């Protein structure tokens, strides 16, 4: 990156990450209440829900059910395809250019992304205005009919 990371940004504590068990996560709301006091000190936290692996029997049963649902009148057609790995099929056998995510270049760390955000914010401050922060109305208060030529009652009449 080449840019200096703000010292105050380095000193920020990392938000906690929780890995509840399947039993703890049966009722997610009660689990959130359980960790609320500790997590609220950070303002944010990450909860990684437990993943229960699908039993092998279930996977095979689903596959069998899927295959049984297919009409037995027509036999399936499987086509073969030959493609040389690492070459583009349409472009005269030239090597494929790898996408950025496969290029081997490392991604930015969370700290580097945070630094870029704060540097951009310091260099050019911005604010987001919501409709409730803006004066005025979307409707004409001076009269002239409801919405003028664009009113709901007039659209499609001409």
pLDDT tens per residue, range 92-141: 555 656 665 666 667 788 888 888 888 888 888 777 667 676 666 665 55
Residues whose CB is less than 8 angstroms from the CB of residue 95 and which lie 6 or more positions away in sequence, other chains included: 86, 87, 88
**How is the chain split into domains, by residue range?**
14-51
Residue with structure tokens 């969370």? Answer: 110
pLDDT band at 32 (very low <50, low <70, confident <90, very high): very high
Specify the pLDDT at position 45.
92
Confidence of residue 35 (pLDDT cuts 50, 70, 90): very high
Q: Lowest-pLDDT range, 19-28, 31-40, 63-72?
A: 63-72
pLDDT of residue 20: 94
- Stronger pLDDT, 92 or 50, i.e. the higher one: 50
Contact 28, 1 (CB under 8 A): no
Using alpha carbons only, how large is the chain's radius of gyration in Å? 29
Backbone angles phi, psi at 146, to 5 degrees: -80, 100
Q: What is the pLDDT of residue 30?
A: 92
pLDDT attached to residue 34: 94
């Amino acid at each position: 990156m080449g840019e200096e990371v703000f010292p105050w940004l380095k000193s920020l504590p990392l938000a906690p990450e929780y890995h509840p068990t399947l039993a703890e996560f049966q009722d997610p709301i009660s689990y959130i209440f359980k960790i609320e006091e500790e997590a609220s000190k950070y303002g944010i936290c990450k909860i990684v829900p437990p993943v229960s692996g699908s039993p092998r029997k279930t996977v095979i049963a689903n596959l069998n059910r899927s295959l049984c649902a297919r009409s037995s009148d027509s036999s399936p057609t499987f086509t073969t395809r030959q493609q040389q790995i690492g070459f583009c099929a349409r472009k005269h056998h030239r090597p494929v250019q790898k996408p950025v995510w496969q290029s081997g270049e490392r991604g930015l760390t969370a700290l580097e992304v945070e630094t870029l955000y704060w540097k951009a914010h310091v260099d050019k401050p911005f604010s987001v205005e919501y409709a409730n922060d803006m004066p005025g109305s979307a409707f004409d208060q001076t009269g002239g009919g409801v919405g003028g030529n664009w009113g709901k009652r007039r659209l499609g009449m001409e």
